């Protein structure tokens, strides 16, 4: 038998041995730093507390709230339906199963938005998509949704509209009673009824 | 009789070509331009220990010239930079942070023992870019707490910010449980108490005003 065959075989065996030197395969693909910076520069990752409130109230099934505070803080108070992934446990595989679910949009939140943003940068680097940050965090949640401030009487109509949404949302989330100021001179509502017509009205 | 044995050198040639292709392949294997120096676990450590944060009152020494080894980089856009910035800051908008020239410059600055302080509109604005630099191993890149907005508010009395804590982030401002439970919403006030609105009307001018 030709000696060269032996050399060729040995070479292939040595090269195959090189596979042992390859780093352990990770279940995610790191994002290139330049691409990461590019997606950081876009402000599209931020969602407002109003948007989050609206989606919770409407029961949006694609919303996945992720609380990145500690377990204790999470157990004390969290948003409706939120999952707790403390920022220092983001590398734990069981927690990562919550990220990257198809068609779900994961919204990170913390006390304000710094921690959530840091978790976002990490998750983005790990290659997860459809992730967002709730701007202002829980502090902003209390300020805008739980204790909304009445706009000045000169404010634009859109602000009143937002205020009325927030008041409704506040009732939804706190179950608060509305303290209606005593108002004696209430006008009676007169209901104008439609007269019945004899002939059946159109229909199919 | 095997075909190859007609020319015993044939396998030798194949062996050499095979080896050459592999060697050339390994030599020309090029890595990505930028590589992470910190793995995700190290990055988590970095953000949980609050390393690389520059307090607003620390700026005072930079601004009065007693520390000259710190460069300020403003990552806001040129328009906002033009409206106002920290004296001595350089405007490098966020999209240009990772250009090859800038990376080269950062390396040079590190060799020269200089540090960089990034700032944006607020701390959140510079947080992402700062994290990318740190993950690339630029541990001489720091972030200004509070960002430009906080600086602008306090620029005449930066020293006093030592006693302020508004710029400290990552802490609850409320007792959430209490707030969420005790909220009582005052409904609209009865309409009778509304202030009368006085409408100022523009006086009619006789001459027809402009128009096409």
pLDDT surpassing 50 at residue A138: yes
B178 vs B134, residue with greater confidence: B134
Closest alpha carbon to A145 in A172, A183, A181: A172
Residue-wise pLDDT tens digits, A122-133: 999 988 889 999
Which segments of A128-183 are extended strands (E)? 131-134, 178-179
pLDDT surpassing 50 at residue B146: yes
B93 neighbors B78 (Cβ within 8 angstroms): yes
Q: How many domains does chain A have?
A: 1
C-alpha span between A113 and B170 (Å, rounded): 7
DSSP output for A114-125: HHHHHHHHHHHH
**Cβ atoms < 10 Å from Cβ of A21:** 6
B139 vs chain A: nearest CA distance in angstroms?
16
What's this model's pTM, rounded to 2 decimal places? 0.75
Write down the ipTM of this complex. Answer: 0.74
C-alpha span between B50 and B209 (Å, rounded): 63
Distance from the Cα of residue B105 to its chain's centroid: 18
Which segments of chain A are extended strands (E)? 46-47, 63-67, 83-84, 105-109, 131-134, 178-179
User: Is residue B168 very low, low, confident or very high in pLDDT (cuts 50, 70, 90)?
Assistant: confident
> Which range is least confidently modeled, A29-43, B116-130, B196-210?
B196-210
A113 in B contact zone (CB under 8 Å):
yes
Q: Tell whether A159 is covered by a domain.
A: no
Is A27 in a helix, a strand, or coil?
Answer: coil
A72 in B contact zone (CB under 8 Å):
no
Q: Tell whether A198 is covered by a domain.
A: no
C-alpha span between B62 and A184 (Å, rounded): 65
Q: Tell whether A27 is covered by a domain.
A: no
Tell me what pLDDT residue B108 has. 93
B141 vs chain A: nearest CA distance in angstroms?
15
C-alpha span between B182 and B174 (Å, rounded): 12
Q: B159-194 b/e with 16+ CB inside 10 Å = b?
A: eebeebeebebbebebebeebbeebebeeeeeeeee
Tell me what pLDDT residue A198 has. 58
B168 in A contact zone (CB under 8 Å):
no
Helix (H) / strand (E) element for B128: namely helix B123-135
Residue-wise pLDDT tens digits, B44-79: 888 888 788 888 888 888 888 888 888 999 999 899
With CB atoms and an 8 Å threshold, state whether A41 touches B94.
Answer: yes
**Which residue is closest to A127 within chain B, CA to CA?**
B40
C-alpha span between B59 and B65 (Å, rounded): 10
Residue-wise pLDDT tens digits, A91-115: 888 888 888 888 899 999 999 889 9
Residue-wise pLDDT tens digits, A1-19: 577 788 888 888 998 998 8
Residue A130 maps to which CATH number?
A: 3.40.250.10
Q: Tell whether A61 is covered by a domain.
A: yes
A98 vs chain B: nearest CA distance in angstroms?
18
Q: Tell whether A97 is covered by a domain.
A: yes
Chain B neighbors of A138, CB-CB under 8 A: 172, 174, 176
B181 vs A167, residue with greater confidence: A167
Give me the domain span that covers residue A116. 33-144
Q: Tell whether A127 is covered by a domain.
A: yes
Q: Tell whether A51 is covered by a domain.
A: yes
Chain A neighbors of B97, CB-CB under 8 A: 37
Q: Tell whether A200 is covered by a domain.
A: no
A103 vs chain B: nearest CA distance in angstroms?
25
């Amino acid at each position: 038998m030709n000696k060269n065959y032996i050399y060729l075989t040995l070479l292939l065996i040595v090269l195959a041995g090189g596979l042992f030197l390859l780093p352990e395969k990770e279940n995610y693909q790191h994002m290139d730093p330049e691409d990461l910076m590019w997606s950081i520069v876009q402000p599209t990752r931020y969602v407002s507390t109003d948007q989050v409130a609206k989606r919770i109230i409407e029961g949006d099934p694609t919303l996945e709230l992720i609380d990145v505070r500690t377990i204790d803080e999470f157990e004390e108070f969290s948003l409706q339906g939120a999952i707790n992934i403390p920022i220092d446990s983001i590398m734990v595989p069981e927690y990562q199963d919550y990220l990257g679910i198809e068609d779900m949009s994961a919204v990170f939140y913390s006390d304000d938005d710094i921690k959530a943003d840091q978790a976002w940068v990490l998750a983005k680097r790990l290659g997860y998509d459809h992730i967002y940050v709730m701007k202002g965090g829980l502090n902003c949640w209390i300020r805008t949704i739980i204790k909304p401030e009445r706009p000045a009487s000169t404010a634009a109509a859109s602000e009143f509209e937002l205020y009325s949404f927030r008041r409704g949302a506040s009732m939804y989330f706190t179950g608060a009673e509305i303290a209606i100021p005593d108002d004696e001179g209430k006008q009676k509502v007169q209901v104008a009824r439609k007269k019945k017509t004899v002939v059946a009205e159109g229909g199919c | 009789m095997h075909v190859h044995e007609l020319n015993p050198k044939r396998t030798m040639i194949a062996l050499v070509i095979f080896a050459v292709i592999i060697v050339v392949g390994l030599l020309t294997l090029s890595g990505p331009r930028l590589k992470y120096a910190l793995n995700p676990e190290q990055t988590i450590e970095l953000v949980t220990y609050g390393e690389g944060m520059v307090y607003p009152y620390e700026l005072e020494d930079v601004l009065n010239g007693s520390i000259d080894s710190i460069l300020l980089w403003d990552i806001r856009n040129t328009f906002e930079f033009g409206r106002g910035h920290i004296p001595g800051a350089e405007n490098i908008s966020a999209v240009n942070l990772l250009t090859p020239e800038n990376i080269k410059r950062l390396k040079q600055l590190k060799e020269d023992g200089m540090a960089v302080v990034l700032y944006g509109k607020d701390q959140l604005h510079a947080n992402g870019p700062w994290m990318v630099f740190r993950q690339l191993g630029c541990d001489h890149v720091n972030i200004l707490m509070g960002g430009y907005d906080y600086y602008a508010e306090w620029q005449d009395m930066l020293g006093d910010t030592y006693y302020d804590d508004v710029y400290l982030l990552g802490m609850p401002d409320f007792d959430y449980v209490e707030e969420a439970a005790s909220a009582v919403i005052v409904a609209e006030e009865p309409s009778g108490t509304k202030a009368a609105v006085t409408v100022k009307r523009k006086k009619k001018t006789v001459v027809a005003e402009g128009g096409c």
